[in-house]
Amino acid sequence: MTLMRITEYPAAVLSERGKPVKTFDEKLVELCSDMFETMYAAEGVGLAAPQIGLGLRLFVMDCDGIKLIAANPEIIEVEGEQTGPEGCLSVGKVPAVLSRPFAATLRAQDEHGNWFERRAEGYAARAFLHETDHCNGILFIDHLPRLRREMVIRKFRKEKTRR
């Protein structure tokens, strides 16, 4: 197991669309287990490949009873709305209130390349959406109005200098 360094805003890889995962081999399985370890060590509930500096469409999550690996993720259906705090390991977990759909259906491949669909509600749906966004080069702060976005970035920078 290897703990990876978490890539932080404003690294370019975080705002680039990831490349598709094409090879489902032992290396990918290992990468995913390292990503889980890194996520747990950082006390996160999801981690996408761009967050460890890899421009790949891949994420892992363990949130609200849903633990999965998603390669080439897509959100195929959303329903309703929820509003609540959200944060990101790449933005120092500085929270901001954000509206998202209440439920989301994810379509992705597992570490062996098998396609699956999974529906989630509430917090886990939020994780599906947040992590799929990462694979598309979108950060949660990109959904915020400009002033609130700048506030989160300022707070993150301030906390970073204290670390």
Q: Which is nearer to Zn ion, 21 or 48 (CB)?
A: 48
Which residues make Cβ contacts (< 8 Å) with residue 129, sequence separation at least 6?
A: 75, 78, 100, 101, 104
52 near Zn ion (CB under 5 A): no
The residue among 89, 102, 86 whose CA lies nearest residue 140 is 86
88 near Zn ion (CB under 5 A): yes
Q: Pairing mode, if any, of strands 103-109 and 115-121?
A: antiparallel
Number of residues that bind Zn ion (CB under 5 A): 1
Q: Which is nearer to Zn ion, 92 or 101 (CB)?
A: 92
Q: If you write DSSP's letter for every residue of 94-139 in order, what string do you get? A: --EEEEE-SEEEEEEE-TTS-EEEEEEEHHHHHHHHHHHHHHTT--
Q: Which is nearer to Zn ion, 26 or 55 (CB)?
A: 55
Catalytic residue among 81, 131, 150, 159: 131
Stretch that binds Zn ion, among 18-26, 63-71, 81-89, 148-156 (CB under 5 A): 81-89
CA 17 to the chain's CA centroid: 13
Examine the residue annotation and report whether 43 is marked as an active-site residue of this protein.
no
Stretch that binds Zn ion, among 15-23, 25-33, 88-96, 142-150 (CB under 5 A): 88-96
CB 10 to Zn ion: min, Å: 14
CA 60 to the chain's CA centroid: 8
The residue among 15, 31, 28, 27 whose CA lies nearest residue 135 is 15
CB 28 to Zn ion: min, Å: 21
Stretch that binds Zn ion, among 17-25, 74-82, 86-94, 118-126 (CB under 5 A): 86-94
Closest residue to Zn ion in the complex (CB): 88
The residue among 35, 130, 39 whose CA lies nearest residue 87 is 130
Q: Which is nearer to Zn ion, 13 or 24 (CB)?
A: 13
User: Which amino acids are annotated catalytic?
Assistant: 131
